[in-house]
Structures are given as C-alpha cells and as structure tokens.
Chain A
Amino acid sequence: MSTSTAPGIRAILPRPRPRRRVVIAVVTTAALLLLTCLVALSLGDRATAPAALWEALQGRGAENTVYAVLEVRLPRVVLALVVGAAFGIAGGLSQSVLRNPLASPDVLGIGAGASTAVVAVIAIGSLGGPVGAVPIPVAALVGGLAAAALIAVLARDRSLRGRRILLIGIAMSTALTGVTQYLLTRIDVYDAQRSAVWLTGSLNARGWADALPVAIGLAVLLPLTLVLAHTSRALIFDDDVASGWGVRTGRMRVVLLVISVCLAALATSAAGPVAFVALVSGQVARRIGGVPDIPPLLAGLTGALIVLVADTVARTALPFQLPVGVLTALVGAPYLLYLLQRRRRTNGSTP
C-alpha cells in the first residue's frame, strides 16, 4: 500500500495490518469448517467411513457410495457453504455499516423482498409471456434491492442508524409475506407447494445450478468487500470523524449496503430466506474476532459454518427432513431476543 503519493485517508488511517486475533479466528473457523464438511459428507441415510469417504472423493470405491458422496451430499454441502458465506458477509456488512447489531438483511426484510419477487415471477410466468423467462437469481436481486430502497426511504432517517429502520423493515416483511401468500393462491398447486418449501429456507433437492449464481456473486463481491474493508472500517466511527479522514461516508455506506443486499438476495434465491443466519453470523464473528468492526471474511466463514451445521443436523438428526430455515429460526430468534436486551457498547452509541 503506497502511502507516499496520496496524503489522504490512507496516510491517516492506521495501516491495515493483519490483526492477530482476527487471523487466529479466521484460521480456526476455516479448520472447523473443513472438519464439518468432512462430517457432513460422510453422514446420510447410511454413514460413510473415513476411508471409504476418501476413496469416494477420488471417484473410486463402491459405486453407490461414490454416488451418495459426490452426487447427493457434495452439491448440498457446497450450496450450504456458499449460501452461508453470502448471508454471513451480508449480515456483517449491514450490521457494521448501520452500527446496529440487529440490522441484518433478514431482520430488515431483504429476504422477504427477494422471496416476493421470485414468487411473483413464478406467478406471472405461469400466465405466459416474457416475465417467466426472468432467471430466479435476477428476480431475487431486483426484489431485494427494491425492498432495501423502499425501507431506506420509508425509514426517513438519513443515517439509517436508529432502531426505527428495524420496525419499518419488519413491518415491510409482514406486508411482503402477505403479498407472497396472495401470489401463492394465484399459482397452480404444484408451483405453490414448491414455493412453500423454498419459502421456509431449504437446501433440500437443490444442486450445482442453484449454487452457481451465489458462487459467482461471492467471487465478485467478496474481493470488492475486502478491498474496501480498510476504508469502510472508518464507518464504525461517527460520520464527522470518518469524514475528517477523507472517507465519503454517504457513498461508502451505499456501496457496502448494496453489496450486502445483493449477497443476501442471491443466497435467498438459492435456498430461500434462511432465517437469522445473517443476524447471528455477523454478531458471532464480531465476538470471536474481538474487534469493533466485523471482518467480512470471518463473518462469511461463520455463516458457512452455521448453515452447514444446521443443515446437517436438520437432514440427519430427525426421522424426517426439517427445512434448515426452521432450525435456524429456532436458534436465531432467541438470539435476537438476547441481543435486544443488551446494552450496546462496542458498536457505537446510536440510540
């Protein structure tokens, strides 16, 4: 990083050096994630022994084991990883930009907006015409961004940092869920049933095609987030302070929020609105990172770990498959209640 040429923000802000505890947390979480991947790959209707798993991963061994590992479990594990990472990064970004531990895309109704758009495309598409040709991820992106814009406007708060935006977001989710319910009554039973499962957040019966758009989104947006991370860290201070360092706070906030919304919408298009993953992973990442901001990479790894663990439990622990979204809601909602009762210390002094 050249600090000599431009005596601007880069010269004033402390150099971005790897913070030790964050590095340790990233490495530990990544190792844990790898281990969980192996466990997830070996668990199923019939568990696979480590040796057989190793062979199967290389395409050798018993044919049905290879099929189970490579064709059934691997796509699902990869989908859990990309969806979880996207939700985690999205949650961490919006929480640190809005300086509000509760302000994650799932609480703010971004997932509901994406869902409504997707169901609308299915509903209008079933009537024929060009709308049906809109790819699902594109519909989710448009819906998520539109919902975010609407909530930002309705919050009537330029800094977007109060608690009111949460009320507006949750109210919008309620209304959008209502619209989705309405749309579900307008489409045929088969589509409605498929949509209903998707709407609870599920990785069941999904494959590589669903994971690809999320993976592309991550490949584009994660590097961008990391490049911006140095400057965006200034947003955890008050706007006056950050502006004093030469950070264009308004513009930076919009860019980061758009990234957050895009990631959340893409993840929603692949797996449905998996409740509270974004909320929880951002906060967990902040705590294990031990820093006032939320490191995006750590939030992504945490999100991936949460979704993978939740999905593995949801598909193996019970005699039937529970949608992963139900499980994450059962864990995430109490966590939201817990967060509500805490005094905010590290994330700023907003009302």
Chain B
Amino acid sequence: MSTAPRTRTRRAPLTILVGAGVALLVVVVLLSLLIGSRVLSPAETFGGLFGDDAVATAVIWELRLPRTLLGLLVGAALGVAGALAQSVTRNPLADPGLLGISSGAAVAVVIGGAFLGLGAGTPRVLLALLGAALATVAVYTFARRSPEGLTPVNMTLAGMALTAFLGAVVSATVLLSASTMDQYRFWVVGALSIPDPQTLLPAALIAAVGAVVAASVSGSLNALALGDDTASALGVNVLRTRISAGAAVVLLSGTAVALAGPIAFIGLIIPHMARALVGNDVRRMLVLSAVLGPLLLLSADIIGRLIVRPSELQVGVVTAILGTPFFIWLTWRTRRRGDAI
C-alpha cells in the first residue's frame, strides 16, 4: 500500500530475527521428530527419514512428520490470525480462541459431523470457516452494543460468554451421540494428531488465501493504528480494511480449528512477542508471527508429549496452562498504560 505511512521508529533487523527464528524452528522440528512415546536417537531418526530402519521409518513418516507439518501450519495460522485480530481491533487481549471465533468453528464442525454426517475433508474446512465467520460477527456485535463500546475488556468478556455458550452446545451435541463423543473427545480441547490428507490440502490452500489477504491489508492496518479518522485522511478505506482483516482472521483461525481443534493463547502470545522484537509495524509483525507461532505451538506439543509419558497431553491444554499467566500479566500491563480496560 503506497498510501500507508511507513513506520520508521524501530528498525530491528527483521532478516536476522526471522533467520534466528527459522533456525530455532528447525531445532524444534527435529526435537518433534525425536520425541514421542518412544524417543528415537538422532541416528535412528536420520535412518528413519531416509528409510534405513523399518520401524523408525514408519514412526517418522507416518506419525511424527505429518504431525509436525500440521503443527507448523496451525501455529503459523494462529500466530498471524492473532496479530491481525489485535491490530484490527486495537485490542491487546484479542485472540481467536479468547474471542470465541475458534469455538464457533468447533461448534459448526461438531454439529455438521453429528447431524449432517459431514466428516473430514473440504466439508469440515468449510463448516469451520462458516462457524468462525458467524462467531466473529456475533462477538463484534455483542461487544459493540455494550455500554462502553468496543473496549478490550468488553470484547474479551463477550468472547468468553460466547465460548461458554458454544461449549455447552458442543457438550450437548457430543452427549447426543456416542460416535460423535468418541470422534471429538480429543479434538474439542485442541490437539495435534495425524492429519488426514483430505483435510490438509484444502485447509492449506485456504490458509494461503488468508495469508495473502493478511499481507495485502497489513499496510492499511498500520494506518488504522493511528485512529479511524487519521487513516481515512491518509486515504485508507477503513471499513474495507476492517472487513478484509476480519475475513483473513476467519480464514486462518477457521483453518487452524478444522485441523487441530480450538487452541487458545497462541494467537494472544505470539503478536506480543513479535511486537516486542520488531516494533509496531504490522507487516513486520505478521512475518515474525508466522515464524514464532509454529515455534511456540510445536514446543507446547513437545511438552505435552513429555509430561504424561507414555500418554500425552493435548496441546490445547498445555497452551491454556502456559498462556494464563501471560494473559494475567497483560491485563496488568494494559492497565498501567492507561488503556480503557
């Protein structure tokens, strides 16, 4: 966007940061391949990757590599979605999980599965997108109608109330049919498992569309940070920017939910880490969030595999436990800065 102002306040070397992030990501990916209910030695992993060791080959190629790729995709989608959501709402507490968007997608998937028989594949992805879109509109409407308007606290509270309601709908649906219960027991808390290729391909395509939309509005979002009036004066179409950014959030978080269930707090934490490293430029934040998201998600997933061995803890549970202290710290910080919280 040529019309958007360029932020020149803090030019941290983005290439170096992204390079370091990618290097760390490679390490985490290798760890993710090594660690599971059975820990493979680096030699075994290497053998497994290139087909020397039959057992290790099966473990790596059929279980851990797909799961790791899934983690990369979901983590990047959640990180970028969170960064977009925080920028477009100017709300440091925004996160697709906390705002109820992920729950909306989850409810649509569970209901579609239980009543319409729509299983994995493109239908699931489309259902998740539909649910995410409806929840986004709902939470925006509810928060806007509250007395103080769209403050961070009101948005978060509306999102949490929506999440509670949708959670009850999921419980009721899951209790209705035993097969649904079995199918979604792990999925509804957010878990990385082996993705079925049917879902992975359409999801990856839609996430790519979301990423393109995100990139195209990032410049306008920089202008939006200065306030609606200033942004208009700079020639940015405020409404169109909002809607495009919201659509990108829906595409990205819907994809993430279709693949891994609702995972909270990744979308909350990552943008703050990115902002601390590269400053307020939305474009740089989005790039770094796409690297840091998978880094955090895969790390949480590895922790989940380690702490209850030989079983494992769903990554959604790990992020909920790790993310809460961060969230509480943020609410303190937001108050100090004197935001209308």
Contacts and interface: CB of A to CB of B under 8 A. Distances in A.
Interface of A: 102, 154, 156, 163-164, 166-168, 170-172, 174-175, 177-179, 181-182, 185-186, 200, 275-276, 320, 322-323, 325-326, 329-330, 332-334, 336-337, 340-344
A299 B283 CA distance: 53
A329 B264 contact: no
Main secondary structure of the interface of A (DSSP, over half): helix
Contacts, number: 111
A69 B147 CA distance: 49
Given A179-B321, A185-B313, A323-B175, A333 B147 contact: no
Contacts of A334: 161, 165
Q: Which of B158, B311, B323, B328 has the most CB of A within 10 A?
A: B328
A102 B311 CA distance: 39
A225 to B, nearest CB: 28
B147 A167 contact: no
Contacts of A181: 189, 313-314, 317
Nearest to B340: A351
A341 B149 CA distance: 9
A177 B160 CA distance: 14
B43 interface: no
A271 to B, nearest CB: 15
B324 A175 contact: yes
Q: Which 4 A-B pairs rank lowest in CB-CB distance, beginning with the nearest?
A: A333-B165, A329-B168, A175-B324, A178-B320
Contacts of B160: 170
Contacts of A185: 308, 311, 313
Contacts of B169: 330
Contacts of A342: 147
Contact of B324 (A163, A174, A276, A322): A174
Contacts of A163: 153, 157, 341
Interface string B151-182: 00110111011101101110110011000000
A163 B157 CA distance: 9
Contacts of A200: 171
Contacts of B314: 181
Contacts of B318: 178
B321 A340 contact: no
